[in-house]
């Protein structure tokens, strides 16, 4: 133990007590008794650090930098490299080191690690001992490492582990990808919607019912289909198909099945955007009835399929307004052309067609307006107003449909259809029995049709 004691005495005279102390107050060195006390305290700390390895309650932290003070005199490479390295520079040591050491230590930058500072000071003092007492150092660092009593794995270089992404990239083989032609899909500018209704009414009376009565059945079928095109730029095309067919049976009528609603109408409107909500428009409309109709309870036929058939084409301006609860479409056509065609020979005179012909042609302005108003959640109102004049006669139609939605499949409907028509142009007059009579007297007629129904309804 003579050599370690001599080294420690040399070091104790030069190393600041604030660095030797581990989490303790500074210990000033003023006498030999103090030096001996400091050395004794270091030995006690060494013994305590060994005991701490067997106790989990220990509070003293071992300091690995101090092992060279207690080991036999050894020539360490780190101490020599510290003074002989070309990177060594003068340093302003980290406080609280005395200023006398500022010119003897290599630069540690702005580090505040007191353990590293202590290690640098120990290296410096070992270098002084190598010069002053070389006879005390008979062992080199290589001899010390060859004893296999010190761990060397901590000095091994830690290899960087590759990331998972880099491993995957290396393992994936190269794959040749053929050139693919991109498929361009144009947006679909078409929208489709519709509504179908089927409603029934039935009355039954026993033969001995005290008030009397007549059994009757009624049925109404209605279908509306819309197919609209809008490219969101300039072109709009609206198509609507409307079909209504209703029957009523009566035991006293002949025939028993008589139509109460009889309509088949197709309307197409082409619009080119003009300004704001106005479009330049061209419209084509075909209207007829799908089933034969009769006059009152008689067998006199008043209409049939394509008897009459109205073909109307018009050019003008169309105004469209779309709101969440209100939609409006107004067609103003200063020029329109109407063809009335009648297939049945017996109905030619009824619709103002000259004998020997099946059609007539009319020119004139017309106005057609349509709107849908959702009054409340389950009640809506659809209306159509049509006006046409050939400067000799006037025809006005107003169709109103009130829909009452009960649930998704049940609904009620009220339909009202007032109509005005100047019959002087046709030179037609109706007698009291409903037959047709030739008369040149001027007469105008207001007509009205209404029905109420309850039944099935489905939107698609």
Which residues pair with residue 437 across a beta bridge? 429
Q: Phi first, then psi: give them for residue 12, nearest 5 degrees.
A: -65, -30
* Domain map (residue ranges) of the chain: 2-155, 190-459
Q: Is 349 helix (H, G, I), strand (E, B) or coil?
A: helix
Tell me how far apart the alpha carbons of residues 404 and 410 are, in angstroms, rounded to a whole number.
9
Closest by CA position to 404, among listed 394, 396, 414: 414
Task: With beta carbons less than 8 A apart as the criterion, state whether 4 and 71 touch.
Answer: yes
CA separation for the pair 392, 246 (Å, rounded): 34
Kindly state the average pLDDT of the residues 97-108: 45
Q: Which is it for the CA torsion 378, 379, 381, 382, positive or negative?
A: positive
Q: What pLDDT was estimated at residue 166? A: 57
% of the chain beyond a pLDDT of 70: 67
> In this structure, which long-range contacts are made by residues 79-84, counting pairs with CB atoms below 8 Å and at least 24 apart in sequence?
79/122, 79/123, 79/124, 79/126, 79/127, 79/130, 80/127, 80/130, 82/106, 82/120, 82/123, 82/124, 82/127, 83/124, 83/127
217-276 pLDDT, tens digit per residue, is 888 899 999 999 988 888 999 999 999 998 888 777 777 778 888 899 999 999 999 988
Predicted confidence at residue 43, as pLDDT, reads 66
Question: Which pLDDT value is given to residue 153?
Answer: 57
Alpha-helix residue ranges (DSSP H) falling in 133-289: 141-146, 164-171
Question: What is the C-alpha to C-alpha distance for residues 80 and 106, in angstroms, rounded to an integer?
Answer: 12
Tokens at 80, concatenated: 């020599």
Instruction: Please give the helix or strand (H or E) that residue 268 lies within, else none.
Output: strand 257-275
pLDDT digits (tens, 9 = 90+) for 288-325: 999 888 877 778 888 899 999 999 999 999 999 989 99
Which residue did the predictor score with more confidence, 68 or 378?
378
Higher-pLDDT residue of 449 and 315 is: 315
pLDDT for 347 equals: 87
Q: Retrieve residue 386's tokens.
A: 């049509």
pLDDT per residue as tens digits for the range 115-173: 677 777 778 888 888 888 888 888 888 877 777 666 655 555 667 666 666 555 556 56
By C-alpha distance, which of 295, 293, 271 is closest to 281? 271
Q: Say if residues 413 and 404 touch (Cβ distance below 8 Å).
A: yes
How far, in Å, are 341, 344, 360, 363 from residue 353 at the CA level?
9, 12, 6, 15
Model pLDDT, residue 56:
47
* CATH no. of 190-459: 2.40.230
What gap in Å lies between CA 260 and CA 449, rounded to an integer? Answer: 10
Kindly list the distances between the CA atom of residue 285 and the CA atoms of 163, 235, 397, in Å, as whole numbers in the listed order: 73, 19, 15
* Residue 450, CA atoms < 13 Å, CB-side half-sphere: 6
Tell me the C-alpha to C-alpha distance, in Å, between residue 136 and each of 3, 145, 156, 231.
6, 19, 31, 101
pTM for this entry: 0.55
The pLDDT confidence band at residue 446, using thresholds 50, 70 and 90, is confident
Cα dihedral 20, 23, 26, 30 sign = negative
Distance from chain centroid for Cα 55? 64
C-alpha distance across the termini of the chain, in Å? 105
CA distances from 265 to 198, 219, 243, 287, 305 (A): 18, 20, 7, 4, 12
DSSP, res 28: -
Write down how long the chain is: 460
Helix, strand counts (H, E) of the chain: 8, 18
């Amino acid at each position: 133990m003579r050599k370690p004691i001599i080294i420690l005495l040399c070091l104790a005279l030069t190393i600041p007590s604030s660095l030797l102390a581990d989490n303790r107050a500074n210990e000033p060195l003023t006498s030999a008794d103090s030096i001996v006390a400091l050395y004794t305290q270091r030995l006690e700390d060494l013994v305590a650090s060994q005991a701490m390895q067997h106790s989990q309650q220990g509070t003293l932290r071992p300091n690995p930098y101090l092992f060279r003070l207690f080991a036999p005199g050894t020539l360490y490479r780190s101490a020599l490299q510290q003074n002989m390295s070309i990177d060594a520079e003068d340093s302003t040591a980290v406080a609280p080191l005395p200023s006398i050491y500022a010119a003897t230590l290599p630069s540690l930058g702005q580090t505040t690690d007191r353990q590293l500072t202590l290690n640098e000071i120990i290296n410096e003092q070992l270098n002084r001992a190598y010069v002053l007492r070389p006879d005390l150092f008979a062992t080199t660092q290589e001899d010390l490492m060859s004893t296999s009593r010190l761990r060397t794995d901590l000095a091994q270089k830690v290899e960087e582990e590759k990331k998972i992404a880099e491993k995957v990239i290396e393992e994936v083989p190269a794959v040749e990808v053929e050139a693919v032609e991109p498929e361009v899909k144009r947006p679909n500018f078409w929208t489709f919607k519709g509504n179908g209704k089927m409603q029934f009414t039935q009355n039954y009376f026993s033969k001995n019912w005290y008030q009397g009565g007549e059994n009757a059945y009624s049925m109404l079928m209605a279908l509306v289909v819309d197919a609209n095109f809008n490219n969101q730029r300039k072109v709009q095309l609206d198509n609507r198909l409307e079909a209504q067919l209703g029957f009523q049976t009566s035991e006293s009528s002949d025939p028993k099945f008589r139509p109460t609603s009889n309509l088949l109408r197709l309307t197409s409107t082409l619009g080119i955007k003009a300004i704001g909500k106005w479009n330049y428009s061209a419209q084509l409309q075909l209207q007829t009835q799908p089933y034969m109709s009769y006059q009152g309870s008689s067998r006199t036929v008043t209409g049939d399929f394509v008897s009459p058939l109205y073909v109307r084409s018009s050019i003008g301006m169309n105004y469209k307004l779309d709101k969440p609860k209100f939609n409006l479409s107004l067609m103003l056509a200063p020029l329109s052309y109407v063809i009335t065609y009648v297939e049945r020979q017996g109905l030619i005179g009824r619709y103002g067609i000259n004998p020997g012909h099946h059609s007539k042609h009319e020119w004139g302005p017309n106005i057609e307006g349509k709107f849908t108003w959702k009054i409340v959640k389950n009640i809506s109102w659809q209306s159509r107003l049509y006006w046409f004049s050939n400067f000799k006669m006037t025809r006005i139609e107003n169709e109103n449909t009130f829909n009452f939605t009960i649930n998704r499949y049940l609904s009620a409907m009220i339909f009202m259809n007032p109509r005005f028509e100047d019959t002087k142009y046709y030179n037609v007059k109706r007698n009291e029995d409903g037959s047709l009579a030739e008369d040149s007297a001027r007469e105008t007629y207001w007509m009205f049709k209404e029905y109420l129904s309850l039944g099935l309804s489905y939107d698609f």
